[in-house]
């Protein structure tokens, strides 16, 4: 692919929008299905708790979050209007039931009260945050003291093999992700490293790994 095409792919992965937004979301669902499911499986959610997802895409995996415990309140936050609209369409039944809500906002401006959230998670968004201090401070503001932040990424060893990640992505090794969290006031509780089957990316088979990190406010 030409440089402009790679830049276009990178921009859409960062923020799906325009005529290709829904197509990009479907491709991300396919390529990241196991990553999403493994992340959701790791969430320490209990009955009557509140969970916030940063960057839920088209909301296809929300139903699995609600299956973790009884009476879960789920909030999906995304700065792509197209993703919010599509998530509302896919999860119309859950929205009507009052268990799910989607919000068009940025990770550094969450519309929740201080210490009101039990669990926050995000999959494949860490690469794109423009101001890490601003985002992590906001996550600390809304998360309860004993709440858990779960970050899932594909580590540098995988991502650096994807040609589009040189445009607007900040890549992390496991150690670099740990350092980032520590620097911004988080304690790493545990982590999982999961290898997946290679994926066809732009016509080439490339490795896929998932790194799931759970942390708490120091």
Q: How many CB atoms are closer than 10 A to CB 147?
A: 22
29-84 confidence digits (pLDDT tens): 999 999 999 999 999 999 999 999 999 999 999 999 999 999 999 999 999 999 99
146-185 confidence digits (pLDDT tens): 999 999 999 999 999 899 999 999 999 999 999 999 999 9
Q: What is the pLDDT of residue 1?
A: 74
Q: How buried is residue 196: exposed, middle or buried, by Cβ count under 10 Å (0-12/13-18/19+)?
A: middle
For 38, residues 6+ apart whose C-beta sits below 8 A from its C-beta are 152, 192, 194, 210, 212
Across the chain, how many H-helices and E-strands are there? 9, 7
95-129 confidence digits (pLDDT tens): 999 999 999 999 999 999 999 999 999 999 999 99
Percent above pLDDT 70 for the chain: 99
Query: How far is 215 from 187, CA to CA, in rounded Å?
Result: 5
Distances in Å between the Cα of 120 and the Cα atoms of 43, 75, 129, 157, 179 are 9, 10, 16, 25, 19
Are the beta carbons of 91 and 66 closer than 8 angstroms?
Answer: no
List the strands of the sheet with 143-153, edge to edge: 100-104, 73-78, 50-54, 117-123, 143-153, 204-217, 186-201
Percent above pLDDT 90 for the chain: 90
- Beta bridge partners, 17, equal none
Helix (H, G, I), strand (E, B) or coil at 57: coil
Q: What is the pLDDT of residue 2?
A: 87
pTM confidence score: 0.95
Residue 13 scores a pLDDT above 90: yes
């Amino acid at each position: 692919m030409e440089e402009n095409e790679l830049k276009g792919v990178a921009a859409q992965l960062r923020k799906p929008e325009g005529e290709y937004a829904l197509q990009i979301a479907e491709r991300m669902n396919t390529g990241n299905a196991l990553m999403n499911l493994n992340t959701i499986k790791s969430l320490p959610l209990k009955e009557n708790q509140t969970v916030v997802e940063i960057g839920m895409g088209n909301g296809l995996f929300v139903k699995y979050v609600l299956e973790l415990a009884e009476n879960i309140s789920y909030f999906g936050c995304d700065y792509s209007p197209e993703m919010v609209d599509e998530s509302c369409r896919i999860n119309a039944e859950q929205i009507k039931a009052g268990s799910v809500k989607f919000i068009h906002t940025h990770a550094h401006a969450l519309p929740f009260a201080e210490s009101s959230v039990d669990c926050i998670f995000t999959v494949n968004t860490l690469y794109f945050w423009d101001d890490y201090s601003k985002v992590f401070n906001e996550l600390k503001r809304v998360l309860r003291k004993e709440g858990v932040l779960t970050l899932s990424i594909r580590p540098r060893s995988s991502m650096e093999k994807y040609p589009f990640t040189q445009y607007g992505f900040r890549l992390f090794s496991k150690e670099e992700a740990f350092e980032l969290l520590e620097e911004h006031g988080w304690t790493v509780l545990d982590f999982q490293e999961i290898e997946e089957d290679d994926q066809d990316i732009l016509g080439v088979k490339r490795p896929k790994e998932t790194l799931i990190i759970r942390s708490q406010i120091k």
